Amino acid sequence: MKIHNFLLVALMLCFMAACKPSVNSETLTGKWKYVKIEHPNANPPDSMKKAELDEVSPYIQFTPERKWNIVWGGKYLAHGTYALDGSNIKVNEKLPDGKTRDFVFSVSELTETNLVFLTIGEDGSKVTAVRMSKF
């Protein structure tokens, strides 16, 4: 009977560890400073050095009105709207020519102080960010 209980507890722990966090707007909204950017699909995989990040001070901002923007080197790099879907942030980017582009940020961690998300695809990035401020 003890082995059965042990296996049941072990199975429950594995299941809980496999679950991704559900993203909610209350925790997500705010300004998030990038502290690490990795490119896991690059050949070979690489990442930006801390000195490079410190120089351009990138951050992403999510508003309660479901808008987002990325600032890089003191200039707006990208902006648009977003929707939440489980552990994903569905992003609609407004391009300079008036067109739009849709993509997904897959969130692997979201707490009051940390955000880790991945963009999907060959050029995908894994971004680790810390909260700078909240709305």
CATH of 21-133, one of 1.20.1250.20, 2.40.50.100, 2.40.128.280, 3.40.1190.10: 2.40.128.280
pTM of the model: 0.82
Residue 4 has pLDDT above 60, yes or no: no
Determine the average pLDDT of the residues in 22-48: 92
Distance between CA atoms of residues 127 and 107, nearest Å: 10
Q: What is the mean pLDDT of the chain?
A: 87
Own/partner contacts of 15-23, CB < 8 Å, gap of 24 or more, are 20/86, 20/87, 20/106, 20/107, 20/108, 21/87, 21/107, 21/108, 21/109, 21/110, 22/86, 22/87, 23/84, 23/86, 23/87, 23/88, 23/89, 23/107, 23/110
87-118 pLDDT per residue, tens: 999 999 999 999 999 999 999 999 999 999 99
